[in-house]
Amino acid sequence: MEGPLVADEDRDMEEPLLSTTDGKGGLRTLPFIIANGALEKLANQGLSPSMILYLTKVYGMKSAYASNVIFLWSAASNFTPIICAFLADSYFGRFLMITAGSIFSSLGMFILWLTAMIPQARPFCDEISGRCDAPSTAQLLLLYSSYAIMSIGSGCLQSSYLAFGADQLYRTSKSNSGILDSYFNLCYITSAVGSLVGMSCIVYIQDRMGWGMGFGVPVALMLLSMVIFLSASPLYLKLMPSRSWCVGLVQAVVAAYKKRHMQIPSLGTSEMYHHENGSLCALPSDKLRFLNKACIIKNSEEELTSDGRASNPWSLCTVEQVEDLKALVGIIPLWSTGFLVSAALSQSFYVLQVASMDRHLTPTFEVPAGSFSTVLVVSLIIWITLYDRLILPLASKCRGKPTRLSGKTRMGIGILFSTLSLAVSAIVEGNRRALAIKEGFSDDPSAVVNMSAFWTLPRYILLGMAEACNAIGQIEFFYKELPKAMSSVATSLLGLSMSVGNLAASFIMTTVDNFSKAAGVKSWVSSNINEGHSDYYYWLLFGLLFANFLYFLACSKSYGPSKEEAGGSNVEDYNNIVS
């Protein structure tokens, strides 16, 4: 069952792509890893789209309150990956983290399924009359515990599955450097296909066969993903962390603070800086120059041992530690530009808007409101496929050399698409609300206006293109800019950004709700969207997203060229990518 346990720092030899010298790893392991990620995404996305309907109809929650519950659940699911990434990179390794994630996800989904199967586990609620009893503390505890356990499981899986697949590729030569980008795209496409099936088939099952069957299918899928992943355990290359990079970063911060009054020489030599023996990084960079104080040797006799090591690592760090800290600090402003993109993607009011419109595809077939988000996923899949298989080959052929958009550029394009999606949402909602009032439905939140829900498709298309550009751009950018020991963290920063984005969305919605009520008018985010002003809410988000785009341009200019743009991508030295 166990593959070789290899320390991160021991990979200094060129290894073949198909497998390592002992037959572990290689391309043959990727289907099992990718299938695990795709099935987990299928199960999760089968639960998310209709969850607001489950909370409002089965638990009797107000839509704004239910939206905040979903925001917090989503935020927790996107925050836990950064904690799990630290544990994977520093202590347990990625294989154990993925295994634990599969177990926790299965358990959380099972508990959620119990709330639908056991009448005593949920409050009494008559969906026809709309009368619902208030859920008891025990019932809410059971519900929220399922969300918490699923969040832990999702965090463990999302923190390690991308980096674990990259581990299997081990080292590649320059001629194979493009395989990493293709691997990221393939992972995102398969996850998107899983999301698509979940948003369509599982949501349809929930709509037609009830919550018991609709929640039971994800449980079975999650168990299947765990079996598939573990069945290939003897084939995996299981890299174990050699040291905690987090301690090194903290030491660099402490050492820089202790030497905060030291003057940095204008011209430095390698002898005045402490670095590892044989290191190619003998001099620190000029970025965030004040941190260079942490690796300056003031007194070699006092600060260094006989073998050249620091006698007190909390007072003298290596150049490598300082550069690792600079890399992490340097990407934070660009990373923060993804918050509002995530907030735009996670708006649960989209479902309520669609539910109040005519969703008939044919006179006898009505598309479930939660399934409209499948258009987002289809748009994402189409854009990634066209980009990787058509746009880039044509651009490379026209220019006569390999051409790719940098991760940073793709991030900016994604922010622009998400901004446009909010403008489209505001325009459509303004027309829908005006029609609802004209038809006399202002007091009936369950009424369906005589307006096709397919007018919302442009929004989902733009959001799909936004996620395809911004999300994958973030993963590529962080993965290539951060040092090798942080690869799990690099692939988890997107999730952390989404977590903050969900919290931001919850804060914005709560603030809008309170301010509009304080002004003596109906809340813009009222449970009755015909009485509220969702269109104003969308225009507010549009303004915030546009300001965020300008902020991104400023951060991008301040950051300067990335390693990829400067021609020094870590892909050329795979040892700086896969940890």
Instruction: State the average pLDDT over residues 15-43.
Output: 73
540: confidence class by pLDDT, cuts 50, 70, 90: very high
Given a contact cutoff of 8 angstroms between Cβ atoms, the answer to whether 227 and 114 are in contact is: no
**CA 76/CA 57 separation, integer angstroms:** 24
Return the structure tokens found at 423. 């403008």
Greatest alpha-carbon pair distance for the chain in Å reads 86
Given a contact cutoff of 8 angstroms between Cβ atoms, the answer to whether 43 and 225 are in contact is: yes
User: Greater confidence, 543 or 499?
Assistant: 543
**CA 81/CA 72 separation, integer angstroms:** 15
How many percent of the chain have pLDDT more than 70? 88
SS3 358: strand
Q: Is residue 295's pLDDT more than 80?
A: yes
As a whole number of Å, the CA-based R_g of the chain is 26
Describe the chain by its helix, strand, coil percentages, rounded to 5: 70, 5, 30
Instruction: State the average pLDDT over residues 560-574.
Output: 58
How many percent of the chain have pLDDT more than 90? 22
SS3 449: strand
For the segment 248-283, what is each residue's pLDDT rounded down to a tens digit? Answer: 888 899 999 998 888 887 776 777 888 777 666 668
Instruction: Report the DSSP beta bridge partners of residue 358.
Output: 452
Alpha carbon dihedral 559, 560, 565, 569, in 10-degree steps, equals -60
For the segment 217-250, what is each residue's pLDDT rounded down to a tens digit? Answer: 999 999 999 999 999 888 888 877 765 677 888 8
Say how many Å lie between the first and final Cα of the chain, rounded: 22
Return the structure tokens found at 312. 């007190």
Question: Residue 216: what residue type?
Answer: G
Q: Where are the beta strands (DSSP E) in 50-157?
A: none
**CA 372/CA 207 separation, integer angstroms:** 13
Given a contact cutoff of 8 angstroms between Cβ atoms, the answer to whether 160 and 488 are in contact is: yes
Neighbours of 202 (CB within 10 A): 26
Return the structure tokens found at 499. 């977590």
Instruction: Report the DSSP beta bridge partners of residue 360.
Output: 366
Residue 238: half-sphere exposure toward Cβ, Cα within 13 Å: 21
21: confidence class by pLDDT, cuts 50, 70, 90: very low
